[in-house]
Amino acid sequence: MRFTYVLTGWESSAHDASILADSLSRPDGLQIPEGKFYLGDENKVYHLNEFSPRHRPQNAKELFNMRHSSLRVTIERAFAALKNRFKVLDQKPFDNFGTQVKLVLACCILHNWILGWSDDEFFEEVVTFNEVETGHGVDACDNEAWKEKRQ
């Protein structure tokens, strides 16, 4: 339910292929980690309710469609949680375009932070500080180390 890559600034009428090409061409653009995949589609929508214990996927195509539908549901849940958390994203924009771009990025960053470091009213599982504390290896007050880590 976290956002791993956000590219803002495109109009809603832009074609997905143009946005993908832009994100892949940037020096700091979309990087697909080894062992992970980018999932695209042909704008066909499959519904999870088409699959049930009685109607299991019968072939590779149906299995793909079931898993693809499951991922789409997860993506839509993430955007719904983002819009529920930050109502400004679900309203008619009143800021200039540059501010809107920064606002979307800020909301995504805060959304991810809340999922990792705070109690979350939108999800049942609560992550505590003790579960997340290990692994970052940087003292909270060491601004230079955090700056270097971000770079």
Q: What is the pLDDT of residues 123-149, one digit of tens each?
A: 555 444 444 444 455 565 666 776 666
Residue 6 lies in a domain: no
Residue 7 lies in a domain: no
pLDDT tens for 43-66 read 665 555 665 666 777 788 888 877
Task: Kindly indicate the confidence band of residue 110, based on its pLDDT and cuts at 50, 70 and 90.
Answer: very high
Average pLDDT, the chain: 77
Residue-by-residue DSSP string for 34-55:
TT-------S----GGG--SSS
Residue 8 lies in a domain: no
Question: Residue 63's domain spans which residues?
Answer: 16-150
User: What's this model's pTM, rounded to 2 decimal places?
Assistant: 0.62
Question: How many independent structural domains does the chain possess?
Answer: 1
Q: Which ranges constitute the DSSP H helices of the chain?
A: 16-25, 60-85, 97-117, 129-132, 143-150
Helix (H, G, I), strand (E, B) or coil at 130: helix
Residue 5 lies in a domain: no
Residue 98 lies in a domain: yes
Residue 11 lies in a domain: no
Residue 48 lies in a domain: yes
Work out the end-to-end distance of the chain between its first and last CA atoms, rounded to an integer number of angstroms. 24
